[in-house]
A and B are shown apart, each in its own frame.
Chain A
């Protein structure tokens, strides 16, 4: 029975709960057992019991949600994948998580992630790497690797993660599921342990586009506790498009060709999907995003710079790890941070501090923010001719654990196709477009700010046409 239960999409399960056909506690327990038996290291914490009551009348139908470790969950460990916060239990809950709970999605567990959301393979976690359910010798992508693996392996009906440079979309692509990064400001960041404040956004990781829309609908909204959040115009609609007539899709050569580093298998899947789109009635044409090749450089200046400041609060004074508290103050700071942060985090703090430092600000951070302006302008111009822009999500499929561990720059290239969108603050979704060498390939669609409903609709139509039903072998 529980085997069937976990086959249901979240939407279907919620519907059954709401009409009384399914006991939400039974659903919760089914997932809780699976999550607790997790062999992918996808979870850092799982609820140790099913709640006494699970509301069944909310729009999310009591369907439990897995939440990335960096969302503050009151009284429950919230570690952002870092040893410096090992065991930290915050006194408050992130707004987005609270909203979902109120809408009827109780907390199933906290998922593993790259430390402080820095990474695209989930090998940077302080609590061990997450394994890809499609091939446990491979990475699930990152930084929301735990959330993606959990959903792909049926350990959670749906999950939320965060996306700064691709951290929802890329793991969704590598795990064969749906992941969406909303417009900047659409979801509250209050309670999200910050990586890069001007880029971070919370978003859904789900089995299909319908589930993503349902979850997103209850995540968006202005929060008085977040000055950068805005009221989402209108409601996120339920996707239902069956064709793409009248839709113009732009294909930027800067992000889609072999010259851009896209692997042949991914390229083939991408081309096949474009053909499907045309068959559905879409007009598919090349477009230009002239500054997209520089997006990675801008991103790897802006994000680490903001992160270097956001992570300064981890100093052993008020919470978290403290090392050598009996030494002098500066030594305590320096040794605490050295012991608590992993190598990638240190790298980015160093990079960010350097980019902001006296004499270098203009050349690095200052220049990067100008490149960002150009990237935004490129998208604006493109969206005058096209409804959406389409690219592969990741230039390659899931690589082997350890394959890029020694080469940070090679690792950063994972984000090539996904970083331009957060720089412009626009939404983007990844859906599975097929397999290459037996591993999932993701297709990315991006649209103008606040175009989520139409974006989801278009993704839905493509999803139907693609008919991806691949599942990693279940254990």
Chain B
């Protein structure tokens, strides 16, 4: 149901590098899971609204008041590559 190309496409969207074995395995596993899940398409759900929030709560807002920030040291404490006071990364291609 889910072929190799689809798996590779989804892996790319999710930024997951997969080995060939993993691609094969995932294709099989996900297909099996999706087969089972697909049964919900048999239900008659016409006119049923989707639940986007299970809580019956709306409008939680925050006053526009400044709160204490982390110090730059604390912010960068776990940074794999502190650089120029910021978080170093390889430059994006675009």
Q: On chain B, which size bracket covers the interface?
A: 35 or more
Q: B33, B54, B80, B87: which has the most chain A beta carbons within 10 Å?
A: B54
Q: B51 and A373: CB pair below 8 A?
A: yes
Does A366 reach chain B (CB closer than 8 Å)? yes
Asked if A184 is at the interface (CB within 8 A of a chain B CB), the reply is yes
In chain B, positions 20-47 with a C-beta closer than 8 Å to chain A are 22, 26, 29-30, 32-34, 36-41, 43, 45
A298 to B52, CA, bound (A): 13
Q: Is A471 located at the chain interface by the 8 A CB criterion?
A: no
* A327 touches which of B60, B75, B90 (Cβ 8 Å): B90
B14 and A353 contact, CB distance less than 8 A: yes
The digit string for A327-371, where 1 denotes a CB below 8 A from any CB of B, is 111111111011001000011011101100100000110111111
Bound-state CA distance A312–B57 (Å) is: 27
Q: In the complex, which residues 51-90 of chain B have their Cβ closer than 8 Å to any Cβ of chain A?
A: 51-55, 57, 60, 62, 70, 74-75, 77-81, 87, 89-90
Residue in A184, A350, A370 whose beta carbon sits within 8 Å of that of B16 in the complex:
A350
B15–A347 touching, CB < 8 Å: no
* Docked complex Cα distance between A412 and B80 (Å): 35
Q: In the bound complex, do residue A338 and residue B90 qualify as a contact, i.e. CB atoms below 8 Å apart? A: no
Say yes or no for B17: interface residue by CB 8 A criterion.
Answer: yes
Cβ A369 vs Cβ B52 within 8 A: yes
Q: Is A297 an interface residue (CB 8 A)?
A: yes
Would you call A297 and B36 a contact (CB within 8 A)?
yes
Closest CB of chain A to B68's CB: distance in Å? 11
Shortest Cβ gap from A395 to chain B (Å)? 16
Using A184-B54, A412-B33 as known contacts, say yes or no to A329 and B90 having CB atoms under 8 A apart.
Answer: yes
* Residues of A contacting B10 in the complex (Cβ-Cβ under 8 angstroms): 350, 353-354, 357
Q: Which chain A positions have C-beta within 8 A of B14?
A: 308, 312, 337, 349-350, 353
Chief secondary structure at chain A's binding surface? helix
Judging by beta carbons under 8 Å apart, are A334 and B90 in contact? Answer: no
**Interface bits A313-325 vs B (CB < 8 Å: 1, else 0):** 0011111101001
Smallest CB separation, B69 vs chain A (Å): 11
Interface residues on A, range: 35 or more
A91 interface contact, C-beta 8 A: yes
Determine the distance from Cα of A423 to Cα of B79 in the docked complex, in whole angstroms. 36
Asked if residues A325 and B90 are in contact (CB atoms below 8 Å), the reply is yes
Chain B residues lying within 8 Å of A326, measured Cβ to Cβ, are: 90
For A185, A318, A364, the residue with the greatest tally of chain B CB atoms inside 10 Å of its CB is A318
Residues of A within 8 A of B (CB): 88-89, 91, 184-185, 198, 224, 227-228, 230, 291, 294, 297-298, 300-301, 308, 312, 315-320, 322, 325-335, 337-338, 341, 346-347, 349-351, 353-354, 357, 363-364, 366-374, 376, 408-409, 412, 423-425
List 9 tightest A-B contacts by C-beta distance, closest first. A369-B50, A319-B78, A425-B54, A334-B17, A322-B80, A227-B60, A333-B15, A297-B37, A338-B17
* 23 residue pairs A–B, Cβ–Cβ below 8 Å: A230-B57, A297-B40, A301-B37, A308-B14, A319-B80, A326-B90, A327-B90, A331-B17, A334-B11, A335-B17, A337-B16, A341-B16, A346-B26, A347-B30, A349-B16, A350-B11, A353-B10, A366-B50, A371-B43, A373-B50, A376-B54, A408-B33, A425-B54
